[in-house]
Amino acid sequence: LNSATKEIAHEWDMFVTFPLTSTKLAVSSKILSLASPVLRSLLDPLSHPNSPMEIQFKELSNDSQQALEAIFCVLHFRHECVTTKVSPDVLYEIATEARKLNLVRALGPWKEKGFREECRRMIVKSLGYDGNNEGAKGKKTETNTMLELISEARISAINSLLSVAKHFTNLYYSNDIKCRVYVTSVASTTTPNRAAIPSCDAGILGSLLIHYATIGIRPVPLPPYKGISVESLALAMKDLHCSVKVDRGHGGCSIIGQVARQVDEVLARVDRLDIWDT
């Protein structure tokens, strides 16, 4: 390789070239094909078994070239080659090129959390969501798809957390008594009946309704859940104080542990870095 070629992949088999520079990127066609169906379709007709392939991206700005180089480094797990100190324009182009090449999901497990958070912050700011950037508002339509993907994981996670809340509310609204502590009925001395204590269930239901109202999910909010943070909501739900008579043996009736487990199950299915709180 000459001095103008950057070896992105250790086992490279093709070059990526740009119109405004002589720099070439030595990359792996297999990795690019796996990462994106768009790239796979571009690479298939270029299969030359006896010589390195070459693909050229045309009509790119300097910012787009920097963005693509950062993207290819991440796809090849060369995170040490990616700086987090890039301009807002390059950050915007990273998002734009990722959308064009269908790489948004492939870039999901971005190793550098700070870079991803900064990238998304600058994207939202550049779209004029703060109401101050008139020049950037024209880019809003172009990146709607990308923003929908960013917010998809967040809205899905909040939906799942609200489903957990609804599950326990419905459970304790039902007529079936869930109390695990039984007392002997004095109605029959020969065949004592075992009956649960309905007031215990009522105490739990009251605890749920009060807690949900306090943390802002009663009444149930509507998408896109503006102002609701996924992790803050999860922590608030796990902070439930359940009013049961523990000193009278009702510790087993408490649902705090059950709520916490179901909340943790929701968070376990979510890439924390894909949660964008707006």
- Provide the CATH number for the domain around residue 47: 3.30.710.10
- Sign of the CA dihedral running 142, 61, 74, 35: positive
| Structural domain range at position 76 | 5-139
Judge whether 145 lies within some domain. Answer: no
Judge whether 148 lies within some domain. Answer: no
CA distance 89 to 139: 12
Judge whether 79 lies within some domain. Answer: yes
pTM of the model: 0.51
* 241 and 265 co-located in one domain: yes
Residue 184 is predicted with a pLDDT of 55
CA distances from 250 to 86, 149, 178 (A): 58, 45, 11
219 upstream amide cis, omega within 30 of 0:
yes
- What pLDDT digit, counting tens, does each position of 83-94 carry? 666 777 787 788
* 120 and 171 co-located in one domain: no
Asked if 5 and 16 count as a contact pair (C-beta separation under 8 A), the reply is no
* 9 and 104 co-located in one domain: yes
Contacts of 29 (CB under 8 A, 6+ apart): 13, 14, 43, 53
Judge whether 146 lies within some domain. Answer: no
Judge whether 254 lies within some domain. Answer: yes
Strand partners, 15: 26, 54
* 108 and 232 co-located in one domain: no
| Most trustworthy range by pLDDT among 76-80, 116-120, 161-165, 268-272 | 161-165
Q: Count of domains in the chain? A: 2
The pair of three-digit structure tokens given for residue 27, joined into one six-digit string: 């990359």
CA distance 157 to 270: 7
